[in-house]
Structure 1
């Protein structure tokens, strides 16, 4: 662990938060790759609707992946970068079905649920640690993603 005291947090708190962020990073990485697969392989009547929507989503996810990795570095730890680590720690699993629109959207919604739940867990941990930087980041992500969940659910007619 590098010097987490440069941002005024306890080393043990930084270690715990970084470990949770690495789990979140793993989940985002699988979510991202699954969304890329859906973008590349979507077929059928919804192609012109979903193809650009999936591209918008994976571009957003890759930004978050970078921001999470940079936050881990800010906390004095090292972000995982190997897919073998991601596969080991991610609750989001690799998608096999990436051509049928409704299935892809259901997979996206399940991935959103996973990352939102992890981010809510991080809110509790970071609040206790006084880590406003990570707390704010997670809060912003949740606010944005709750709207996305609503929109994808609306697409499914829910």
Structure 2
């Protein structure tokens, strides 16, 4: 027997928030994979700096994936967890092939900004439902992705 969830958020609102968080999870996981890919495959004069930087980013993203998925579950919604579900839900474009380090950085900036846009949509849904826990989580993610996009963008300026 499953006990009904009674956390002060209506079922429909929990489902809407869960759907939004699922999109955020998919974007975050896709960005994690992209960043890890670039960590493995970066080359050029800034290899060491970028290799280390990308590792810092994917480690942070791995922790974020877990936090987002656990929040979805706390809302009583089944969290997506397959490549296919993530591919269907994500707004981030997959990168294939060998690309130069500068293009990797450009793609990561675009991907972090995509996550920011997704997070803003989810934040609005969570705030409308008075879901402070989800809003706080999403707000924290916004700070991380906006700052990371800015820092990566700085690598592209001459």
- Whether TM-score is above 0.5 comes out as yes
For the residue of structure 2 that corresponds to 1:4, the secondary structure is coil
The equivalent of 2:38 in structure 1 is: 38
Shift of the alpha carbon at 1:2?
7.0
Shift of the alpha carbon at 1:29?
1.2
Shift of the alpha carbon at 1:91?
1.1
Shift of the alpha carbon at 1:110?
0.8
The aligned runs of 1:9-158 (5 Å cut-off) are 9-97=9-97, 99-157=99-157
Comparing 140-149 and 28-37, the one that deviates more: 140-149
Shift of the alpha carbon at 1:149?
1.5
Structure 2 residue runs of 5 or longer lacking an equivalent are: none
TM-score (norm 2): 0.93
1:14-69 deviations in Å (ceiling 9; x for gaps): 00000111111111111111111100011110101100000000001111100000
TM-score (norm 1): 0.93
> CA-atom RMSD, angstroms?
1.6
Contact 1:2/1:76 (8 A) holds in 2: no
Contact 1:23/1:90 (8 A) holds in 2: yes
Cα gap change, 1:128 to 1:2, in 2 (>3 Å) = farther
The equivalent of 1:4 in structure 2 is: 5
Contact 1:112/1:145 (8 A) holds in 2: yes
**Mapped partners of 2:91, 2:132: distance in 1:** 26
Comparing 60-69 and 94-103, the one that deviates more: 94-103
